[in-house]
Chain A
């Protein structure tokens, strides 16, 4: 009694049957040769045959997504009187060309000589430097927390290092470690769903927990892009209810689901002028709309905090003092986050202009002191015994 043939086996049979044949193969021959199709195709029942044909079409699509492009060829047979569909998977389309390292820059590591190239299969020459770039690029995509393409990045790296000596193989003792934030597992599944929807241009619906209003809303969004920054994933897309582009943090999203109707037909187009770059990291005081009034703030950074501001590119240097301190200018749209940031520098940076902003910083410091004084007073009233503990 035959067991059921698994999908993996069916695909493997199909690939093994087609790959390397020079001539396209007529569909009937495929149906008869691949065991999983033949079982039903040979029954000669038209409905069963149609079902198997559809199964083959789906297999072809799925295999294409997996990087196995079975090409459809229109053939005429019987002296040009009959048109039939035929299929082909050439060696050149299926097998990865040989990768050859050129001009090794490190003397200690000799690249492996590639095996003799298969006729028709190409060969790609890469320098050691380029291999390093490729490894670095794929590692970024693999290791970034909750990466939607981790599996593909790992697989690409394995393939691209297949011909190289062990010295170039990815090591599991990587010197770089990306830490997951709490809740990363839930986010991982959401990123994958949204990434799939984005690539297929399918709309998504989800419940969003708005942090400002503290309420949950149902959203219907056309995904335009996915952005990872400061350890969080964000979806940028067109929100149908708000009729505008919006940014959603994936950690605040629940149960995203893509429109499953007509999976091959895109639901929307991404506007040509949309650029994800515009949503990249900006400091909190730079956020806001173009119409917001911008203040130019002058801030004196004491030495050596000036070195740190320089190292991180905060503001623009306006003036350098002999003692190493610097005046730096900032274009401020949002005053409150700017003042709180300067306050967190504990007095190592002071606002020198405009005077209103300098006053704002002082009153913020005053508010902080008031909080501590009030709670200290409450504490001493509640439990006088602890009031004197100060060593």
Chain B
């Protein structure tokens, strides 16, 4: 499907573009395209749908409309028509209701009922029809319910570019560490939350698992995100990595767990039905915990040092009395 999409998608764009360009001074086409998430060429095609009608059907209903495109600026005079966006469609209201419901599920009871009231008010005032509870047919579970408030704080801090101080517990740490971090980005990947930012202790950009943040607060300091920061540099195949000093670890999985591993990302088939995966990681401890979750069904093949870490962990457990 091209970017033009269906007639419905095109009409939706036009019914937003016309009021936008009816405002004083009109709107730069590039800005309108950015707001609508399409290219300028697509908007030009959309405009042709509006303007070309008059040429072959002078009696058309919308012909009172004047459309001026000067350089990059679009201006519409529509004589009190199409000067507002249309009301929320049933599905637009549904998407809002689903999002508000997910937010209410994570909020404390007082805020939760306030969110419910807000959804109800918007549905009555702004939507074309009531949703009849269809939002209950959708559930967005972002995980880490206990950390919802903490995540909200991190998102706000990242939005307002405010430094945070948090207590972070490394898996192998003997006690929590206090870190001051400029949170550049809050990332959700493979069912987990991470915060990627500049760590003032390590003097480098680091990724932290949010489920290991015990508490966080904002510090009265504002930062700027470096131009060259791109969260994608810390991400590979849907996972977040913690630094550049990666080490390759090879893990073999038995036939029994292979079907689940095949779903998770790149793998190689082995003779006998098992699979082999190469992980590139700066934290071999992560691999150790990962393979232990599979018990005897997963085995680190290389490097030897990581094999020994797995064996040491198993020995510790074996020696419990």
A67 and B299 contacting across the interface, CB-CB below 8 Å: no
When distances are taken between beta carbons in the complex, the residues of chain B under 8 Å from A35 are 53, 57, 59-60
B159 pairs with A175, CB closer than 8 A: yes
Q: Does any Cβ of B come within 8 Å of A47's Cβ?
A: no
- A51, CB-defined interface residue at 8 Å: no
Which residues between 310 and 369 of chain A lie within 8 Å of chain B, taking CB atoms?
Answer: 311-313, 336, 339-341, 343-347, 350-351, 358, 361-362, 364-369
Task: Tell me which of A93, A136, A172, A372 contacts B299 (CB under 8 A).
Answer: A372
CB-based contact B88/A149 at 8 Å: no
Q: Contact: B299 with A66, CB < 8 Å?
A: no
* Shortest CB distance A382–B (Å): 13
**B139's contact among A6, A159, A225, A370, by CB below 8 Å, is which?**
A225
A342 closest partner in B (C-beta): B317
| Interface residues of B, Cβ cutoff 8 Å to A | 7-12, 14-16, 19-20, 34-37, 49-50, 52-53, 56-57, 59-62, 65, 80-82, 84-96, 98-100, 102-103, 115, 118, 121-122, 125-129, 134, 136-147, 155, 158-159, 169, 171, 173-176, 183-191, 211-214, 231, 235, 237-240, 259-260, 263-266, 288-290, 292-296, 299, 301, 304, 307-308, 310-311, 313-318, 320
Of the candidates A5, A304, A346, A362, the one whose C-beta lies within 8 Å of that of B173 is A304
CA distance A230 to B271 in the complex (A): 31
Residues of B within 8 A of A199 (CB): 94, 134, 137
* Contact indicator B95/A141 (Cβ below 8 Å): yes
Greatest chain A CB density within 10 A among B19, B90, B174 is at B90
**In contact, A389 and B304 (Cβ under 8 angstroms):** yes
> Are the C-beta atoms of A154 and B87 separated by less than 8 Å?
no
Chain B's nearest CB lies how many Å from the CB of A95? 4
Q: How far is the CA of A57 from the CA of B88 in the complex (A)?
A: 22
Q: Are B87 and A153 in contact (CB under 8 A)?
A: no
Given A2-B56, A162-B19, A311-B147, check contact A137 B103 (CB 8 Å).
yes
Given A130-B118, A175-B155, A368-B296, check contact A67 B16 (CB 8 Å): no
Smallest distance from the beta carbon of B60 to chain A beta carbons, Å?
Answer: 5
Instruction: State whether A304 touches B169 (Cβ < 8 A).
Output: yes
4 smallest A-B Cβ distances: which pairs?
A67-B89, A137-B99, A175-B158, A230-B191
Rounded to whole angstroms, the CA-CA distance of A117 and B88 in the bound complex is: 18
- Rounded to whole Å, the gap between the CB of B315 and the closest CB of chain A is 7
B176 touches A226 (CB 8 A): no
**Per-position contact with B for A220-261: 1 when CB-CB < 8 Å, else 0?**
000011111111100000000000000000011000000000
Q: How far is the CB of A180 from chain B (nearest CB, A)?
A: 6
- Residues of the A chain whose Cβ atoms lie less than 8 Å from the Cβ of B296: 364, 367-368, 370-371
Contact A139 B99 (CB under 8 A): yes
Question: How many A residues face the partner with a CB closer than 8 A?
Answer: 127
Q: Which residues of A contact B (CB under 8 A)?
A: 2-3, 5-9, 11-17, 19-20, 33-35, 38, 62, 64-69, 93-98, 118, 121-122, 124, 130, 133-134, 136-142, 144, 148-149, 151-156, 158-160, 162, 169, 172, 175-182, 195, 198-199, 211, 214, 224-232, 251-252, 270, 275-277, 279-281, 303-304, 307-308, 311-313, 336, 339-341, 343-347, 350-351, 358, 361-362, 364-372, 375-376, 389-390
Q: Judging by beta carbons under 8 Å apart, are B49 and A9 in contact? A: yes
Please judge, given known A-B contacts A67-B90, A141-B98, A346-B316, whether A12 and B49 are in contact too, CB under 8 Å: yes
- Do the beta carbons of B53 and A344 come within 8 Å of each other? no
Complex interface: chain A residues within 8 A of B98 (CB): 137, 141, 149
Q: How far is B14's CA from A375's CA once the two chains are assembled, in angstroms?
A: 66
New A-B contacts (7) at CB < 8 Å, excluding given A16-B82, A149-B95, A156-B95: A66-B89, A177-B186, A179-B235, A311-B169, A340-B295, A346-B288, A372-B299
Shortest Cβ distance from A195 into B: residue: B138
Which has the most chain A C-beta neighbours within 10 Å: B53, B92, B171, B265? Answer: B92
Distance in Å from the Cβ of B161 to the closest Cβ of chain A? 9
Question: Which of B12, B126, B158 makes the CB contact (< 8 A) with A96?
Answer: B126
The smallest beta-carbon distance between B194 and chain A, in angstroms, is 9
Q: Which residue of B lies closest to A308 (CB)?
A: B169
What CA separation (Å) do A356 and B68 show in the bound complex?
A: 80
Query: Distance in Å from the Cβ of A368 to the closest Cβ of chain B?
Result: 4
Partner of A229 from the list B141, B169, B294 (CB cut-off 8 Å) is B141
The docked-state distance in angstroms from the alpha carbon of A252 to that of B237 is 18
Chain A nearest CB, measured from B303 CB (Å): 9
Which residues of A sit under 8 angstroms from B266, Cβ to Cβ?
A: 182
Q: Which of B118, B134, B304, B317 lies in contact with A343, CB distance below 8 A? A: B317
Min Cβ gap B78→A in Å is: 9
A124-B86 Cα distance, complex, nearest whole Å: 15
| Chain B hits for A64, CB < 8 A | 128
Sample 5 A-B pairs with CB under 8 A, ordered by A number. A136-B103, A142-B95, A176-B186, A211-B260, A362-B318
Tell me the complex Cα distance, A376–B301, Å.
10
Contact between B188 and A177 (Cβ–Cβ < 8 Å)? yes
Given that A133-B115, A343-B292, A371-B299 are contacting pairs, would A308 and B212 also be in contact in the complex, using a CB cutoff of 8 Å? yes
Q: Which residues of B contact A33 (CB under 8 A)?
A: 59, 61
Q: Is there an interface contact between A140 and B293, defined as CB atoms closer than 8 Å?
A: no
* Contact call B137/A158, Cβ cutoff below 8 A: no
Q: Across the two chains, which residue of chain B brings its CB closest to A3? A: B56
Q: Are B57 and A158 in contact (CB under 8 A)?
A: no
Asked, given contacts A34-B61, A96-B87, whether A229 binds B175 with beta carbons under 8 Å apart, the answer is no
- Interchain CB contact (< 8 A) of A149 among B8, B19, B94, B315: B94
Q: Cα distance A281–B85 when bound, in Å?
A: 39
Q: Given contacts A12-B49, A96-B88, A280-B141, are A344 and B292 in contact (CB under 8 A)? A: yes
Which residue on B lies nearest to A361, using beta carbons?
Answer: B317
In the complex, are the beta carbons of A229 and B158 less than 8 A apart? no
Interface residue from A11, A156, A224, A313 paired with B11 (Cβ < 8 Å) = A11
